[in-house]
Chain A
């Protein structure tokens, strides 16, 4: 068995997938609430000449920059936690707070996921959201009326959340169940109204990761070439 050939080939395959992940990060660098993904590699064995495998892809839940948008229903989380959204009875969690008001008064994102806990009456003139998530609306009479509360949830192990789309996640056994998070106080996450969280993708780091993956791919390709060349020589040992 030619170990070197296989080891170098696993290196190429792993770097290829690594490049896919970095490219996906870059492609979503402008998506609100997007969390970048990172790859980790594991050796395939302990002896000499074993290859590698891209063993896990996990999301990095570091804070993205908050940007003022002035959208009437835009919210962002300053701190940890997720918004809880639902669609057709299914629950999901996101940090993308770009919502619009539906005909039924519920707040929806572009994919039709509804923010739980809030209903805006049709008579409302304007809406505001406090740092603790309380939503109030201004009515024609001038008095303010409560319209629900945006609840934040947290997970024991957010890295084990399952991605459902670009900025949407579902709970899993590994992540643990969602647990409600207090907001607005000292050392607690705050809800920023009229703002959106940008992705946490660093363009510079992604470019560097692409360069590194490319060179690593090339180095492994040379390993494949050298193995191939040696096999050719071995085959020519016997000259008829």
Chain B
């Protein structure tokens, strides 16, 4: 691999890094969003960049809505299609049959199938669902889960590090371009000046 090819992969890696930071910044206000973190490595085929999801939990944001749920520990169990999946937070609304669904249409599970609730229901930290004194059911959660009703988990994007990411991606791109130009100049000299006979 020659220098020009190597610098091309460096340009691409810088672009990929900016893509990741821009995607994170765009989703800084998306509840429950998990940021991606970019990595770059020097391999035989040049600089290879990749990104992975950072699963660190985001801060809890107060909404005051009874069906905005988040957990400080453990997970909520939801039914998506035929499968049971876990989630740490969700903004649920009642559907026509009294079930609670999140923004993606997934059903919130109770101890006996999908939870049935009323618009006035409250959910306590252990996941017990009540309407006044009447117990309507219990959330199906992993043991040890602490449920916070009236909260949503915000994205875990940290604006400062993403801005630094944007800047350093841009500078890395510039550096690669400068190196590329220097290599190009050297080649130009090789082609045009080496072997020229001065008259």
Chain A residues in the interface with B (C-beta under 8 A): 2-5, 7-8, 10-11, 14-15, 18, 38, 40-43, 48-52, 55-56, 58, 60, 62, 80, 154-160, 173-174, 176, 187, 212-213, 215-216, 219-220, 222-223, 226-227, 229-230, 233-234, 236-237, 239
Contacts and interface: CB of A to CB of B under 8 A. Distances in A.
A226 B26 contact: no
Given A40-B31, A212-B29, A230-B15, A174 B96 contact: yes
B96 A176 contact: yes
Given A4-B15, A48-B16, A158-B119, A226 B170 contact: yes
B69 interface: no
B91 A40 contact: yes
B25 A156 contact: no
A162 to B, nearest CB: 14
Contact of B20 (A5, A49, A56, A187): A49
Q: How large is the interface on B (under 10, 10 to 19, 20 to 34, 35 or more residues)?
A: 35 or more
B163 interface: yes
Given A3-B19, A226-B167, A230-B170, A43 B119 contact: no
Contacts, number: 146
B171 to A, nearest CB: 10
Given A226-B166, A230-B170, A40 B18 contact: no
Contacts of A55: 103
Given A155-B119, A222-B163, A223-B25, A43 B30 contact: yes
Given A3-B22, A55-B103, A156-B94, A230 B27 contact: no
Interface in B1-49: 11, 14-16, 18-23, 25-31, 33, 36, 38
